[in-house]
């Protein structure tokens, strides 16, 4: 995907409170197309984050057992205990060692969505990070400091380790960013913007790197573009029907009430709206019926709409989820290693979306 920017921008000046409520794809579209956005970390998010961090700090002191990725090494080194004095170095080394993605630069709008989605996920209060760490991510958004992330190197089976490492190198003063239209070292951009780097505490490197924000951001961006394509396809279908001097009969409500697929009904409604003032539709026509590509617009476009709706539901669920590992539940006194970082829920539905969108081209 070689998309350098969204197709159009609005003149809106928005304020957005991270972690105050679930985030939606429509909201993300408004944020990335607005002329300016001021991001704030909500008070309720700060409370959740701090509560989890306090719990984790106390647990590290009193657990009496190894805590994966917190007081131990990673992967096959999970049985190696790390002295408390080395926990910061452990997390920083994790970020640096995984910063090995390559290929083409990820488009800036998608990188900004990555920052927003990670800030939102961490704000849910199950990751054990510092409030200052999430605030630093938000500061990067507010100062338009956009890390340089590459598109190769992540398989998704362990989350988005390599691209997220590139994304968060700037938090510890490493890596390159785009700032004021130029590619610069992150520490220079931070210094100019008045942002302090972060000293990572236990678990924080893992919380930043583990997760699905690279995959999810591409999915969100694709859904934004697909919704526009769906509306455009129906408009093109209406214009094409007019050029062919086709019939409006296939779009009457009764036809779609007896086969009540929601997408089919929605496309037929759109077609009726687009054609309602057409002079051509008022004239008698010689044909009994039109070719498939006109007669089945509601059915084919509608099936793609239904697929789009389903995929949107899955991705919306994903971007409001906690996807790092281990996951911390302060109220239940639990720290659990699991697999919420796995990209399978995204992978399957995005393949489905690709098929659905290809069908718009087939009927066209």
Per residue in 12-47, pLDDT (tens digit) is 899 999 999 999 999 999 999 999 999 999 999 999
Q: Is 36 helix (H, G, I), strand (E, B) or coil?
A: strand
| CA 266 – CA 262 distance, rounded (Å) | 6
pLDDT for position 67: 85
pLDDT for position 3: 36
pLDDT higher than threshold 50 for residue 4: no
pLDDT higher than threshold 70 for residue 350: yes
| CA 41 – CA 13 distance, rounded (Å) | 17
Provide the pLDDT confidence category of residue 7 given band limits of 50, 70 and 90: low
Judged by average pLDDT, the poorest of 156-165, 252-261, 301-310 is: 156-165
pLDDT higher than threshold 80 for residue 10: no
Q: Is the dihedral of CA 222, 228, 232, 233 positive or negative?
A: positive
pLDDT for position 196: 97
DSSP-assigned states of every residue in 46-115: HHHHHHHHHHHHHHHHH--S--TTTTB-SGGGTT-B--GGGHHHHHHHHHHHT---EEEEPPHHHHHHHH
Each residue's pLDDT tens digit, 266-296? 999 999 999 998 998 888 989 999 999 999 9
pLDDT for position 78: 78
Provide the pLDDT confidence category of residue 223 given band limits of 50, 70 and 90: very high
Hey, where are the domains in the chain?
13-211
Positions annotated as catalytic residues are 68
Is residue 207 within 8 Å of residue 129, measured between CB atoms?
Answer: yes
Provide the pLDDT confidence category of residue 11 given band limits of 50, 70 and 90: confident
Q: Is 244 exposed, middle or buried (0-12, 13-18, 19+ CB in 10 A)?
A: middle
| Average pLDDT of span 340-346 | 97
Q: Is 305 helix (H, G, I), strand (E, B) or coil?
A: helix
Is residue 89 within 8 Å of residue 204, measured between CB atoms?
Answer: no
State what percent of residues in the chain have pLDDT above 70: 98
| Domain 13-211 fold | Fumarase C; Chain B, domain 1 (1.10.275)
| Average pLDDT of span 219-227 | 97
pLDDT higher than threshold 80 for residue 6: no
pLDDT higher than threshold 90 for residue 80: no
pLDDT higher than threshold 50 for residue 2: no
Residue 63 CB contacts under 8 Å (≥ 6 apart), including other chains: 71
pLDDT for position 340: 96
Each residue's pLDDT tens digit, 148-192? 999 999 888 889 999 999 999 999 999 999 999 999 999 999 999
Q: Which of 159, 264, 297 is nearest to 167 (CA)?
A: 159
pLDDT for position 1: 30
| Average pLDDT of span 99-108 | 95
pLDDT higher than threshold 90 for residue 68: no
pTM over cut 0.85: yes
pLDDT for position 8: 64
| CA 92 – CA 210 distance, rounded (Å) | 14
| Average pLDDT of span 335-343 | 95
């Amino acid at each position: 995907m070689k998309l350098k920017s969204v197709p159009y921008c609005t003149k809106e000046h928005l304020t957005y409170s991270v972690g105050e409520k679930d985030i939606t794809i429509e909201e993300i579209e408004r944020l990335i197309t607005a002329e300016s956005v001021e991001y704030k970390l909500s008070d309720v998010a700060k409370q959740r984050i701090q509560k989890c961090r306090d719990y984790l700090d106390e647990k590290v002191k009193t657990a009496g057992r190894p805590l994966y990725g917190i007081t131990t090494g990673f992967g096959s080194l999970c049985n190696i205990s790390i002295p408390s004095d080395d926990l910061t170095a452990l997390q920083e080394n994790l970020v640096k060692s995984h910063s090995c993605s390559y290929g083409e630069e990820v488009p800036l709008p998608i990188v900004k969505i990555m920052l927003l989605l990670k800030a939102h996920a961490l704000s849910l209060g199950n990751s054990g990070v510092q409030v200052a760490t999430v605030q630093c991510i938000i500061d990067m958004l507010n100062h338009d400091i956009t890390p340089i992330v590459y598109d190769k190197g992540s398989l998704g089976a362990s989350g988005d380790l390599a691209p997220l490492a590139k994304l968060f190198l700037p938090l510890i003063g490493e890596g390159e960013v785009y700032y004021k239209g130029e590619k610069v070292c992150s520490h220079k951009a931070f210094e100019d913007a008045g942002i302090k780097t972060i000293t990572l505490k236990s678990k924080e490197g893992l919380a930043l790197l583990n997760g699905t924000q690279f995959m999810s951001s591409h999915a969100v961006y694709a859904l934004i573009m697909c919704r526009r394509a769906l509306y455009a396809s129906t408009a093109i279908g209406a214009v094409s029907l007019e050029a062919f001097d086709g019939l409006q009969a296939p779009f009457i409500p009764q036809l779609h009430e007896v086969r009540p697929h929601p997408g089919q009904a929605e496309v037929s409604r759109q077609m009726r709206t687009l054609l309602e003032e057409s002079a051509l539709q008022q004239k008698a026509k010689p044909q009994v019926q039109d070719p498939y590509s006109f007669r089945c617009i509601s059915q084919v476009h509608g099936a793609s709409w239904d697929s789009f709706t389903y995929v949107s539901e899955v991705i919306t669920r994903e971007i409001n989820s906690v996807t790092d590992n281990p996951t911390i539940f302060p109220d239940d006194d639990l720290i659990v290693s699991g697999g919420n970082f796995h990209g399978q829920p995204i992978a399957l539905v995005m393949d489905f979306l690709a098929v659905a969108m290809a069908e718009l081209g087939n009927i066209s």
